[in-house]
Structures are given as C-alpha cells and as structure tokens.
Amino acid sequence: MPFAIDNEVCNACGSCEEVCPNNAISHKGKVFTINAAKCKECVGDFDVAQCADVCPSGACALIAA
C-alpha cells in the first residue's frame, strides 16, 4: 500500500522528495505527488518510510485500502 501526500497539509518544503530512495516523489509548483507504482514504502532500504519520517507537517501518509 503506497504513501500519498495530502497537499492541503503539505508545506512544499521538498524534504520528502530529497529522501525518497525510489524517486517516487515529484512536484509541479507546490503540489507534490507520489507515484504509487514506484513507492515501495522504503521496504528493503529503511525500517520506516523516509517521506513520512522527514515530513514536518505530517502530509505523507499511507493510502487507506
């Protein structure tokens, strides 16, 4: 289940994009998105999802199934 960014909460700091090991995060202007096909929740790279770990506003979260 991939992560998503809540752009109503996101402050567009770009921290998530910098730390994503799969280059799954991109942006157009101040709108950040996570490519679900690329997002692996950092499994195999880190113990926790890096986007959620560095996000100061809590905008990165798992998508509910």
What are the pLDDT digits (tens) for 3-60?
Answer: 999 999 999 999 999 999 999 999 999 999 999 999 999 999 999 999 999 999 999 9
State the pLDDT at residue 20: 97
The angle formed by the CA atoms of residues 65, 26 and 29, to the nearest 5 degrees, is 115
Q: Is the dihedral of CA 18, 57, 6, 8 positive or negative?
A: negative
Taking Cα atoms as reference points, which of 29, 7, 32, 4 lies closest to residue 18?
32
Q: Where are the alpha helices (DSSP H) in 1-65?
A: 15-19, 50-54
State the pLDDT at residue 65: 57
Domains of the chain: 3-62 (3.30.70.20)
Task: Specify the pTM.
Answer: 0.89
